[in-house]
């Protein structure tokens, strides 16, 4: 009955088969590198306790529990605009929309740009949640290669063959989920060249931007575009930020920073979808951000850097020949490429049975279904002893 009345977009929204396997993670003897989440032991709990108590105090209690503007809490938008300026993106609160996590921004941007059969350019692999958000708008995907050997005309022709046009390039630019890799400055510049040639938007996903452990920061794509064009109002890059990886994912507070015509369309979507993000959470985040953002992020950086180093070291010790991995300068993930004949999903099933170690098989991150011999490991959650033991077991599994 339902299949005849569900919309066509539902056929593109499928649960991943690995979800079933990952349900087993609750079992206490499993070592999990599968999650992609911050360590809850590092949440700034006291700062949030104080912030929520104050928010519900006499000065802001009515405001905190009331409906509020779709654009977001003005003092939070001002604080974000100041942060963006420090990254080389001069802007005002009118360039900022608060969203319920950056995931909501990805959904809105899919809705804003994609008609069925249009093309979105994404890397192979890319953030699974971006594919999930965009899939609802029934696009085709083509492979984004920042140092491309494919010309703009090739991209345009392939999109036309599929019955639409290229609308945007999506890129998780710093310490990407799932690979941990960063697009260098030249790659960002060539992404802008491509976007100008094709007249498309660039969606810059900066979810992990603050979590750099070494190497020099690279300006956001939006900053590089402003350096070329003079003003954010002339830019095609749409920056999606988030407090999930720095302060708390549970409060669901993210933002979009872009030219005003984009923000005003997204505000219409926000009004239609959920009116606004939770007022009380926005006020509390503002207080915590003002009180301790930089200090807290530097604490996270030193904790996660140690775990990254520990995992890289354990991989060097325990991985057999033929397995290679990325060397991320930040973020939460290391990406392994296994020998061609190995399949990540098959290895996960075997691992849960014999070694009790979990990870995420890489195929689901590939819009074309390739990447069977890849897996994603998370290092932000497990402690050092768990990393050593888990990687040792993973080595035994891959050695067969």
Ligand X SMILES: Cc1ncc(COP(=O)(O)O)c(C=O)c1O
The residue whose two tokens read 């904790």 is 303
- Contact call for residue 362 and ligand X (CB under 6 A): no
The answer to whether the beta carbons of residues 236 and 286 sit under 8 Å apart is: no
Give least dist CB 131 to ligand X, A: 11
Rg (CA), the chain: 21
**What's the sign of the alpha-carbon dihedral 313, 314, 317, 319?**
negative
From the list 44, 101, 187, 344, which residue makes contact with ligand X (rule: CB under 6 A)? 101
Q: Is residue 382 helix, strand or coil?
A: coil
172 binds ligand X (CB under 6 A): yes
Return all residues near 40 (Cβ < 8 A) that are at least 6 apart.
none
CB of 203 to ligand X, least distance (A): 10
Kindly determine how many residues on this chain lie close enough to bind ligand X according to the rule CB under 6 A. Answer: 14
Residue 177 DSSP label: T
Can you name the residues that pair with 185 across neighbouring β-strands?
none
Q: Pick from 48, 127, 134, 359: which binds ligand X (CB under 6 A)?
A: 127
Peptide bond into 125 cis (omega under 30): yes
Q: Is 126 among the residues that bind ligand X (CB under 6 A)?
A: no
Residue choice 51, 207, 251, 357 for contact with ligand X (CB under 6 A): 207
- Return the number of other C-beta atoms located less than 10 Å from residue 395's C-beta: 18
Sole window of 8-16, 101-109, 139-147, 373-381 interacting with ligand X (rule: CB under 6 A): 101-109
Backbone angles phi, psi at 101, to 5 degrees: 75, 160
Determine, following the binding rule CB under 6 A, whether residue 242 of this chain makes contact with ligand X. yes
* Least distance to ligand X, CB of residue 333, Å: 9
Residues 6+ apart with CB under 8 A from 180: 326, 327, 328, 330, 331, 332, 333, 334, 335
Query: CA 203 → CA 7, 65, 199, 303, distances in Å?
Result: 26, 33, 13, 29
Question: Nearer Cβ to ligand X, position 242 or 282?
Answer: 242
Nearer to ligand X, 107 or 118 (CB): 107
Residue of closest CB approach to ligand X: 101
**The only residue of 125, 164, 249, 362 in contact with ligand X, by rule CB under 6 A:** 249
**Binds ligand X by CB under 6 A, chosen from 119, 135, 177, 237:** 177
Minimal distance in Å, beta carbon 2 to ligand X? 28
Q: Is 129 in the site for ligand X (CB under 6 A)?
A: yes
Q: Which is nearer to ligand X, 71 or 181 (CB)?
A: 181
Binding site for ligand X (CB under 6 A): 36, 101-103, 127, 129, 172, 177, 205, 207, 242, 244, 249, 254
């Amino acid at each position: 009955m339902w299949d005849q009345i569900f919309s066509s977009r539902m056929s593109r929204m499928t649960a991943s088969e690995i979800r079933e396997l990952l349900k087993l993670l609750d079992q206490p003897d499993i070592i999990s590198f599968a999650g992609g989440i911050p360590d809850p032991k590092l949440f700034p709990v006291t700062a949030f306790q104080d912030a929520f108590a104050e928010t519900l105090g006499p000065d802001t209690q009515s405001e905190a529990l009331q409906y509020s503007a779709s654009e977001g809490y003005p003092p939070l938008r001002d604080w974000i605009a100041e942060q963006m300026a420090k990254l080389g993106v001069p802007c005002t609160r009118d360039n900022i929309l608060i969203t319920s996590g950056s995931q909501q921004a990805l959904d809105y941007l899919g809705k804003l740009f994609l008609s069925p059969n249009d093309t979105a350019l994404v890397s192979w692999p890319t953030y699974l949640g971006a594919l999930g958000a965009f899939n609802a708008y029934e696009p085709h995907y083509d492979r984004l290669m920042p140092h491309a050997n494919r010309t703009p005309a090739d991209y345009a022709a392939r999109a036309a063959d599929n019955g639409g046009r290229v609308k945007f390039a999506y890129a998780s630019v710093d310490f990407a989920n799932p690979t941990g890799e960063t697009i260098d400055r030249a790659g960002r510049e060539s992404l802008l060249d491509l976007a100008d040639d094709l007249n498309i938007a660039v969606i810059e996903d900066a979810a992990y931007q603050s979590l750099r452990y070494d190497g020099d920061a690279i300006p956001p794509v939006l900053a590089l575009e402003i350096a070329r064009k003079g003003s954010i109002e002339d830019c095609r890059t749409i920056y999606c930020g988030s407090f999930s990886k720095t302060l708390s994912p549970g409060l669901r507070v993210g933002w979009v920073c872009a030219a005003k015509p984009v923000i005003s369309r997204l505000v219409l979507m926000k009004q239609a979808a959920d009116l606004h993000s939770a007022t009380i959470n926005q006020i509390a985040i503002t207080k915590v951000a003002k009180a301790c953002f930089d200090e807290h992020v530097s604490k996270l950086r030193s904790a996660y850097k140690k775990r990254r180093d520990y995992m890289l070291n354990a991989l060097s010790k325990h991985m057999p020949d033929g397995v290679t991995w990325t060397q991320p300068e930040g973020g939460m993930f290391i990406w392994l490429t296994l020998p061609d004949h190995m399949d990540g999903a098959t290895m996960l099933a075997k691992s849960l049975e014999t070694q009790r170690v979990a990870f995420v098989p890489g195929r689901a991150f590939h819009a074309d279904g390739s990447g069977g011999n890849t897996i994603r490991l998370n290092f932000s959650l497990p402690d050092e002893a768990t990393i050593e033991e888990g990687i040792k077991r993973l080595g035994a599994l891959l050695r067969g």
